[in-house]
Amino acid sequence: MTRLAALVAIAVMTMSVGAGAGLAAPNPADLEAELVCPTCKTTLDQSDAPVARRMKQIIRTRIAEGATEKQIKAELVAQFGPGVLAEPPKSGFDLVAWLVPLGLLAGGAVGVAAIVWGWSRRRPEAGVPAPVDPELERRLDDELDRFDE
C-alpha cells in the first residue's frame, strides 16, 4: 500500500512538472528573433525603429501578463498582418513558401541522381573499342610488316 502511494505521488509530481514546462513564460529574445518590424522589414532584435521598440515593449508587457508565445504572435498578426512573422505559417497558401523550396531541392536531387546514373551507364560503353576501318587496319598491318623487315 505504501509502495502504491509512493508511485501515485511520483506520477502526480511528474505530471505537475510536465504541465509547468508547458506553461513556461516565452523568452522575449526568442520572440524578437521570430517577429519582423513592419516598417524596416528586419527582425525586431535587429531593429531600433520606433515601431520595433514599441513592439518589444508590448511583448514584454504581454509576457508579464502571462500571455503565451502563440497568443502574442496572434495579437501582433491581428494588428500588423501575417507579414510580421519572420517565418511564414505552415498552413493555407503560406504552405507554398515551405513546399516550393523543398520541391526544388527534391527535384535537384533527382536531377543529380539521374545525371550520375547516366554517367555510370556510359562508362562501360567507353571501354568497348570502336570498329576499325578495314582499309586502315590493312595499312597498319603493312606498316608493321615493313617495320619488322
Partner 1 sequence: MTGTVQRVGQAIALVGVAALLGLFVWKVAFGNDTGAADELAAGKSVAAPAFTLDRLDRQGQLAIGDLRGKAVVVNFWASWCVPCRDEAPVLQQTYERYRGQGLVVLGIDVNDFKEDARRFMRRFGMTYPVVYDGKGSTVGKWGVRGFPETFFIDRSGRLVGERIEGAVDIERNRSTFERGIALALGDAP
Which residues make up the interface to partner 1 (CB under 8 A)? Answer: 38-39, 50-51, 53-54, 58, 79-81, 83, 107, 111, 114-115, 117-118, 121-122
Nearer to partner 1, 1 or 103 (CB): 103
Helix (H, G, I), strand (E, B) or coil at 85: strand
Q: Work out the angle at residue 27's Cα, subtended by the Cα atoms of residues 23 and 30, and round it to the nearest 5 degrees.
A: 125
Q: Which long-range contacts (CB under 8 A, 24 or more apart) does 43-51 make?
A: 43/86
Nearer to partner 1, 10 or 117 (CB): 117
The least distance separating partner 1 from the CB of residue 9, rounded to whole angstroms, comes to 47
Q: Answer whether 39's CB lies under 8 Å from 51's CB.
A: yes
The least distance separating partner 1 from the CB of residue 14, rounded to whole angstroms, comes to 41
- The type of residue at 74 is A
Altogether, the residues listed in the chain come to a count of 149
- Residue ranges of E strands in the chain: none
Strand partners, 36: 43
Nearer to partner 1, 2 or 120 (CB): 120
The least distance separating partner 1 from the CB of residue 83, rounded to whole angstroms, comes to 7
The least distance separating partner 1 from the CB of residue 37, rounded to whole angstroms, comes to 9
Nearer to partner 1, 14 or 46 (CB): 46
